[in-house]
Chain A
Amino acid sequence: MSVVNYGTREITCKIVYYGPGRSGKTTNLQHVYSQLPEERKGKMVSLATDTDRTLFFDFLPLDLGTISGFATRFQLYTVPGQVYYAATRKLVLQGVDGVVFVADSQSRQLAENIESLQDLHANLAEEGLDPRTLPLVMQYNKRDLPAGEISPIEELDETLNFRDVPYFSAIAVNGGGVFETLRSVASLVLSRLSAPAVGES
């Protein structure tokens, strides 16, 4: 995991949007992409395939320009939520700096949320990353659905957010909560920039 490169004066942060299938991960990236000014609009890459042998994810590079002398880039990824794309999720998680867990607020999707969160922890551990300390933000999406179909925020948070990390309600389909979530995870990732330097000295 390389976040800051003093040699080339670059800061690169890899943020992965994780969560069950159809929870709104790609919608988050699509909204970010839609808000980019033309001069910063690179290519949002979406790869789809039927088999796990081929990559299947979304990738949105965010070139933020030079900030305080450092060329700063955020790389936003989504993982395929479907259970059978396990190998791809592991691949995308390699070198991750921060995770947004996009939960589907629908009550009937609670089991899928839990399963995906457990899958995230298992894959992070396999990558040698500590699921208890990696920058993580929870997003409870689809809050625009009828109240009878979605779980209360408090219930979702009680069930999923045992680390007590920042959480946001969202309606990603119209952009609600998307940038708030991104800002929060970016802040958590950046707050760790100084930590290695202190420890290594």
Chain B
Amino acid sequence: MAKEPKKQDAEEEGGGEFDDFMADISQEIAQRVESLDTKPKAKPKPEERKKTPSVPDAGVIVDWPNIADRMIEEMR
């Protein structure tokens, strides 16, 4: 797989190798970008959107001091 190194020719000074590199890389990037799905996903129709489930007022905790302590306690 190893390739023999090419000797640097005087006439290649100043961009010849870089131009070859750019040509290869540009092609590679173009292929990769094309393969990426960059289109935004279609939004669901309004009727298909999930509605936030309503919670009866009785089930809503409006005040729970020391909630962090309670959660830690629950996890033990």
Contacts and interface: CB of A to CB of B under 8 A. Distances in A.
Per DSSP, chain B at the interface is: helix
Interface residues of B, number: 32
A194 interface: yes
Contacts, number: 101
A182 interface: yes
A193 B33 CA distance: 8
B29 A68 contact: yes
A51 interface: no
A122 B18 CA distance: 33
Interface stretch (A32-40, A52-60, A92-100, A108-116): A32-40
Contacts of A169: 2-5
B69 interface: no
B13 A34 contact: yes
- Residue from B4, B7, B20, B30 whose CB has the most chain A CB atoms within 10 Å: B4
Nearest to B9: A175
Given A143-B5, A157-B2, A201-B37, 19 more contacts: A4-B36, A31-B8, A32-B18, A36-B18, A64-B22, A67-B29, A68-B26, A72-B25, A168-B3, A169-B4, A175-B6, A175-B17, A176-B8, A177-B5, A183-B24, A187-B28, A190-B28, A193-B33, A193-B36
Contacts of B33: 67-70, 193
24 contacts: A35-B15, A35-B16, A36-B15, A37-B15, A37-B19, A40-B18, A67-B30, A68-B29, A68-B34, A70-B29, A157-B2, A168-B3, A168-B5, A169-B2, A169-B5, A171-B7, A175-B6, A176-B5, A176-B8, A179-B17, A180-B3, A183-B25, A187-B28, A194-B35
Interface in B20-75: 20-22, 24-26, 28-30, 32-38
Nearest to B6: A176
Interface string A165-189: 0111111001111111011001100
B25 A174 contact: no
Contact of A176 (B1, B7, B15): B7
A11 interface: yes
B2 A6 contact: no
A167 B13 contact: no
A115 B71 CA distance: 49
Interface string A100-140: 00000000000000000000000000000000000000001
Nearest to B41: A201
Contacts of B32: 190-191, 193-194
A197 interface: yes
